Amino acid sequence: MNISEPIERLWGGRFKSGPSAALKALSRSEPSFFRLAPYDLAGSRAHAQELRRAGILGDDELQRLLAEMDRLQAQFLAGEIGPSDDDEDVHTFLERELTQRLGATGGKLRAGRSRNDQAANDLRLYLRAKARTLSHAVIDLQRALTEQASRHVHSVTAGFTHLQPAQPVVFAHHLLAHAQSIYRDIDRLADWDRRSARSPLGAAALAGSAICLHPELSAVELGYDAPCENSIDAVAARDHVAEFAFVASMLAVNLSRLSEEVILWTSRQFAWVVLDDGYATGSSIMPQKKNSDIAELTRGKAGRLIGNLGGLLATLKSLPLAYNRDLAEDKSAVFDSIDTLELVLPAMAGMIRTMRVDVDEMRRQAPLGFTLATEVADWLALRGVPFSEAHEITGALVRRCEEQGIELAQVSAATLTEVDARLDASVLAHLTLEAAVAARSGFGGTAPARVEEQIARLSAALDRQSAWADDYKGPSW
């Protein structure tokens, strides 16, 4: 082989023949992996600066490399160039392009690094950038939830346990319960980022580089907090990828739970919510149907994201240190999860923002199923009756109402005293929906005043999360 000719792969000098067609087919990166090209170029720019510090590149060579990498990236993002069938991976693709354009200068860029630290760095940079873009999409959904909640601070509905009517709540409080769980998902991304802001560049294959001796400078240039502490761990670790996959799957689970409730709310049996026509579908055979397909698709895709996490953990569980080719599976898991969330989140936000809530129907249903029973037990307890007794008395009252075919608010004073002498007509003032929700006035309760405070706190917290997502110093496209 003439070593001055452009290379087709980044290895092979000790081999007498090239790889078989079967090996090439198996070894070639999946097409989606080439999305990492801009991040690989970002790492290459930082690496070129390190090679200049090591004396391997001169000032002119460095400037030529940086300028050509900028052109290469612009052409790639514009769709003007792409990998060939012979490019094994993104690293081969980019080195081939640079070598064809710059000759020997392009080939110098490989000194002092390995595909191992390149691959680890590319994915870290990509995930750190995606943590921010996903956060913005989640925050938009959160804004939709808080906008709806603001309209329904005084809209009373039935709260459920075991999918049975339990106690009255305001609908805003129920919406905010979903918003609070999703809020923690963004917190998880920020917390994940704090642990993942370590650069693997300079680790080379596993032992560190004898040429690139200042990885802390490359780390700062790429927006990391510092380099990885251990060069073996830098190329072998994928717990940060698994953790990202967990956060993505937890977010998907929370979205699925919200979706399940939207499906219930829009059913004829509940009839609480009507979806905007732009965020619903129909039936090919039943003209009357209006289906909550966004919610159903989101619920279904949650299983896929859980599977991505499980598959990645299974791949990692028995791998020895340091790098093994099995680790190429890390990208398949998180790329699919990210792509799925980027489809789901805008659709969910639009669906929630535009849905119409039937306040009157929710109110009609709110007291059904004796949801005000706890008010009787609490009323007795506040008058010195042990709650165990209050519970029994209230149960007997509910049974009497069932026999008479009435709700608690319709009970007569005579029936109250028949059930227990400690019950009198003054309890009836507490058997209203407004009284029930107003009584839950402790921090985190469903009283409208507390819910308004919760909306204000959540809105401020979302502003802080948005500021975190905006304040990213690393490369992003």
So which residues are the catalytic ones?
Answer: 162, 283
Could you tell me what percentage of the chain is helix, strand and coil, using 3-state DSSP and rounding each to the nearest 5?
Answer: 65, 5, 30
Please give the DSSP secondary-structure letter assigned to residue 383.
T
Using a 10 angstrom Cβ sphere, with 0-12 exposed, 13-18 middle and 19 or more buried, the burial of residue 320 is exposed
Where is 321: in which H helix or E strand?
none
Backbone angles phi, psi at 232, to 5 degrees: -70, -50
> Which residue has 């380099």 as its token pair?
227
Cβ–Cβ < 8 Å for 125, 45: no
Please give the DSSP secondary-structure letter assigned to residue 83.
-
Residue type at position 432? T
Q: How many alpha carbons lie under 13 Å from residue 470 in its C-beta half-sphere?
A: 7
Non-local CB neighbours of 438 within 8 Å, separated by 6+ positions: 447, 448
Token pair for 117: 């630290």
Using a 10 angstrom Cβ sphere, with 0-12 exposed, 13-18 middle and 19 or more buried, the burial of residue 462 is buried
Non-local CB neighbours of 462 within 8 Å, separated by 6+ positions: 139, 142, 143, 146, 183
> Which residue has 């080439």 as its token pair?
34
Residue type at position 176? L
Token pair for 462: 């979302």
Backbone angles phi, psi at 433, to 5 degrees: -65, -40
Residue 351 CA to residue 28 CA, distance in Å, equals: 40
